Amino acid sequence: MGKPKRGGLKLKEESLRVGLLLKIIGVAVTVFVAVHFLYAVEYSYLALVYSFFLLYFLTKILRESNDGDFDKAINVVIFSFLFTFLLFLVHKTILQRLVESHRENFIIFSFPYAFASLVLSYIFDPLPPIILTVLVSLGVLGITGNVIASLYALMLGFGAIYGVLHYGKMRRGTIYRTAFVILYPASLLFLVFSHLQDISLTTFLDDLATATVNVLELSVIASFLIPIIEYLFRIVSPLRLIELSNTNQDIFKKMALEAPGTFHHSLMVATLAERAADAIGGNSLLARAGALYHDIGKLKMPQYFIENQVNLPNPHENKSPSLSAMIIINHVKEGVEMGKEMGLPREIIDFIAQHHGTTLVKYFYAKAKEMGIEADESTFRYPGPKPQTKETAIVMLCDSSEAAVKSLKEPNEESIRATVNSIFESLLEDGQFDEAPITMRELRIVKEEIIKSLTAIHHKRVEYPKEEKNGSKSPEENKNRQKTSP
Ligand SMILES: [Fe+2]
Ligand SMILES: [Fe+2]
């Protein structure tokens, strides 16, 4: 079972890159021709209504063909392009009523062409915002026929991309910093230089007003557009991931109270996964957020999971192995349902669904065999799917490693290395990483990073052997712990 494919008819087959690029060109040409014609004949309202319907229907179609990162990025570019022109027409129609008709330049240059480039830089790597910036600049040329305005849009777009790269994607303040520190002076300078022959106080004040309207509009539109794009295209931006990773949320407070062992385990896995993802250039924020939520399903029956059984009787004792396995396996299904109820993004729910892949609940399977019960292996396996992304594969390895190392009697570098190595080999042999786009080299880097982090975390305990005498479990218990957790 791969990522669920959505919608489509013929659009589904269009996921080839060439098809997608043709889609952009097609949309761009349609918009140029239609809006240019309507703009030229001064039918602003008609152009507005036309753009609105075009945007509405295209959004519906684009939402349906939303598979794969590239496809998604292109769809967002098309949407942003149309949205920019819809807003341009709104801006023009409103300002035409407010200012005198000869102030055409004010109307054209005060429009914040860069807002979508700014938003896209927040969400994607630089390529999609660069494509959009070029398209918008060509669009301005096509619609207004004004070369200076087209260059202005191009410069502001690149300024916005630079601003986000410079100030960082992690802060919402980046929008305002980019708008006021980079785009405001850039816009003002451009306007002043565009009519050097006529430098007077009046033209300067005019330029100042134009640049001010531009950045103010830009700040407002960009802040509203990020959540709209996230919702429409099911994208999780770095900002959303940071919000999701906030452990002050109710779900984590509940977990800390009702399943403290699971809460601690999730925090540990999140730290490990974040570092490991960083080491291979993966999405460390996504890995961290996904790891925090991966075991939320355990909240339905926390006492059945070993990490929450401190000083409590083990409820598995009077259960049949198959029933116990079913309860353990069920935390994945319960977690997915809880995630959907909480409105978690699909990318986060994927971690809940995939973190055990199709692994076997070995302990209860072996117990059933020991008891002479005829056990069907498939009923002791998690339903899957196997990890489908680098980040979910990383969390799978961190999850199993963390739980196993926690139960080690003497966690030192050697024993940690041996434990993580054996978990890695057994997951690999079981084919759990087969469907994830991660290379063997990357997996080995991830494994080494986990060993490094776990060794650092358990370092103190090694120095105080006395603590272990009282606190540690028997080797037999350790063995069990490894098989029932994580
Ligand atoms: Fe789990
Ligand atoms: Fe876990």
* Ranges 58-62, 183-187, 195-199: which has the least confidence: 58-62
CATH number at residue 477: 1.10.3210
Distance 373 CA to ligand 2 centre (A): 28
Chain position carrying tokens 């055409």: 104
The per-residue pLDDT for 194 is 85
Distance 375 CA to ligand 1 centre (A): 22
The per-residue pLDDT for 336 is 97
Same domain, 61 and 200: yes
DSSP codes of every residue in 23-74: HHHHHHHHHHHHHHHHHHTT-HHHHHHHHHHHHHHHHHHHHHS--SHHHHHH
Distance 64 CA to ligand 1 centre (A): 31
Same domain, 249 and 386: yes
Distance 346 CA to ligand 1 centre (A): 17
User: Quick check: is 398 in a domain?
Assistant: yes
The per-residue pLDDT for 173 is 85
List pLDDT tens digits, range 102-156.
Answer: 678 888 899 999 999 999 998 888 888 998 998 899 888 877 888 999 999 999 9
User: Quick check: is 32 in a domain?
Assistant: yes
Asked if the model's pLDDT at residue 67 lies above 60, the reply is no
Same domain, 245 and 226: no
CA dist 210 → 90, 107, 207 (Å):
17, 8, 5
Same domain, 96 and 70: yes
Ligand closest to Cα of 403 equals 2
Ligand closest to Cα of 397 equals 2
Query: Would you say 395 and 342 are in contact if contact means Cβ atoms under 8 Å apart?
Result: no
List pLDDT tens digits, range 34-43.
Answer: 666 666 656 6
Same domain, 120 and 75: yes
Q: What's the token pair of residue 282?
A: 């993966």
Distance 486 CA to ligand 2 centre (A): 4
Same domain, 195 and 90: yes
The per-residue pLDDT for 99 is 78
Distance 349 CA to ligand 2 centre (A): 14
User: Quick check: is 2 in a domain?
Assistant: no
Q: Distance (Å, rounded) from C-alpha 202 to C-alpha 16?
A: 53
User: Quick check: is 139 in a domain?
Assistant: yes
232, 256, 283 - which closes a domain: 232
Burial code (b: 16+ CB inside 10 Å, e: under 16) for 422-456 equals ebbeebeeeebbebbebeeebbebbbebbbbbbbe
Distance 400 CA to ligand 1 centre (A): 9
479 — pLDDT class (breaks 50, 70, 90): very low
Residues in the 5 Å CB sphere of ion ligand 1: 295, 486
For range 84-90, the mean pLDDT: 85
Distance 360 CA to ligand 2 centre (A): 14
Whole-number percent of the chain with pLDDT over 70 = 81
Ligand closest to Cα of 354 equals 1
Ligand closest to Cα of 269 equals 2
Distance 298 CA to ligand 2 centre (A): 9
Ligand closest to Cα of 298 equals 1
User: Quick check: is 1 in a domain?
Assistant: no
Whether a cis peptide bond, with omega within 30° of 0, leads into 385 is yes
List pLDDT tens digits, range 332-388.
Answer: 999 999 999 999 998 999 999 999 999 999 889 988 888 888 778 889 999 989 999
Same domain, 259 and 373: yes
Distance 436 CA to ligand 2 centre (A): 19
The per-residue pLDDT for 93 is 79
Q: Distance (Å, rounded) from C-alpha 292 to C-alpha 479?
A: 25
User: Quick check: is 302 in a domain?
Assistant: yes
Distance 249 CA to ligand 2 centre (A): 19
Count of structural domains within the chain: 2
Distance 240 CA to ligand 1 centre (A): 23
Distance 260 CA to ligand 2 centre (A): 13
Same domain, 392 and 245: yes
467 — pLDDT class (breaks 50, 70, 90): very low
List pLDDT tens digits, range 393-435.
Answer: 999 999 999 999 998 888 899 999 999 999 999 999 999 999 9
Which is more confidently placed, 237 or 325? 325
* Ranges 132-146, 194-208, 375-389, 459-473: which has the least confidence: 459-473
Residue 27 structural domain: 9-232
Same domain, 261 and 191: no
6 — pLDDT class (breaks 50, 70, 90): very low
The per-residue pLDDT for 269 is 97
Q: Distance (Å, rounded) from C-alpha 304 to C-alpha 387?
A: 25
Average pLDDT, the chain: 84
198, 232, 266 - which closes a domain: 232
Q: What share of the chain is helix, strand, coil (3-state, %, to 5)?
A: 75, 0, 25
Please list the alpha-helical segments (H only) found in 182-200.
Answer: 184-194
Same domain, 144 and 219: yes
Q: What is the pTM of this model?
A: 0.72
The per-residue pLDDT for 471 is 40
Distance 199 CA to ligand 2 centre (A): 67
Cβ neighbours of residue 218 under 8 Å, at least 6 residues apart? 112, 114, 115, 118, 179, 183
Same domain, 299 and 202: no
171, 199, 232 - which closes a domain: 232
Distance 296 CA to ligand 1 centre (A): 8
Same domain, 285 and 209: no
478 — pLDDT class (breaks 50, 70, 90): very low
Cβ neighbours of residue 64 under 8 Å, at least 6 residues apart? 6, 7, 8, 11
Q: Identify the bridge partners of residue 360 per DSSP, sorted by sequence position.
A: 381
Distance 331 CA to ligand 1 centre (A): 7
Chain position carrying tokens 């399903």: 297
List pLDDT tens digits, range 284-315.
Answer: 999 999 999 999 999 999 999 989 987 778 88
User: Quick check: is 56 in a domain?
Assistant: yes
The per-residue pLDDT for 199 is 76
The per-residue pLDDT for 102 is 62
Distance 345 CA to ligand 1 centre (A): 19
The per-residue pLDDT for 45 is 66
List pLDDT tens digits, range 213-238.
Answer: 999 999 999 988 988 888 888 788 88
For range 59-77, the mean pLDDT: 69
Asked if the model's pLDDT at residue 253 lies above 70, the reply is yes
User: Quick check: is 140 in a domain?
Assistant: yes
